[in-house]
Amino acid sequence: MTHDELPEAVRRFVLRAQAGAPPPQLVRLGQAGEMQLKPGRWLRFRASQEVRPDRVEFSWHARFRLAPGLAVHVRDWYRDGEGGLEARLLGVIPVARASGPETARSEAMRYLAELPWCPHAIANNHALEWREADDRSVEVATAVGSWRAAVTLRFDEAGDIVGAAAPDRPRQEGGRFVERAWSGEFSEYQELGGVRVPGRADVRWELPDGPFTYFRGRITNLELV
């Protein structure tokens, strides 16, 4: 889909973000925030993320501090139809790993939801399919093997993307994957590296016993490579 064929709200967002041509080869982000796997145990992290504007591909490297001198290093990624997550204590000892088709679809959905942090991909990634849902929301989708990954982006009155949601993002629960409703909120728009992006995101799962916010983070820097 060319820039002129994008839904009107999406084209306005790209222009407002100052994401003009030619696109960079890579968008590099710095992040800081906190995450929890279980309610009540937030862990602070710092991370770097690289995103490709021309195809569905990203890599996220984070360091979670557990105690003085003790940290877990996490790598989250998607590339060429495959995705995964690895966590290593002290960067060496494996403590968690996820892979397979459900993980790949979940990671591709992360790429779609985080498009406000890489507006160049909105205009230049031809693997993305766009469909206008209404005046304030659009669906963006991509193929993941024989699967289809889709996320709905929501706009406010000013034209900023303030939300991302999906009713069926795969979530690993014990030894199996369950499709759960999932959503995130973007706020605090600012200019970083010459691009206007949201500075903060809060992300949650909609679980049977209620909403579970597991990610609260902010962008510390942005670089076009």
- Which three-class secondary structure state does DSSP give residue 38? coil
Domain borders along the chain are 3-224
- Which three-class secondary structure state does DSSP give residue 163? strand
Residues of the chain with pLDDT > 70: what percent? 98
The answer to whether residue 20 scores a pLDDT higher than 80 is: no
pLDDT at site 174 = 86
pLDDT at site 21 = 75
Q: Which two tokens stand for residue 190?
A: 């600012």
pLDDT tens-digit series, residues 153-163: 999 999 999 99
Q: What is the identity of the amino acid at 220?
A: T
pLDDT interval class at 5 (50, 70, 90): confident
| Distance in angstroms (rounded) separating the CA atoms of residues 113 and 187 | 14
pLDDT tens-digit series, residues 85-110: 999 998 889 999 999 999 999 999 99
Q: What is the mean pLDDT of residues 191-205?
A: 97
The answer to whether residue 223 scores a pLDDT higher than 80 is: yes
**DSSP alpha helices (H): ranges in 66-224?**
101-113, 119-124
Class of domain 3-224: mainly beta
pLDDT interval class at 1 (50, 70, 90): low
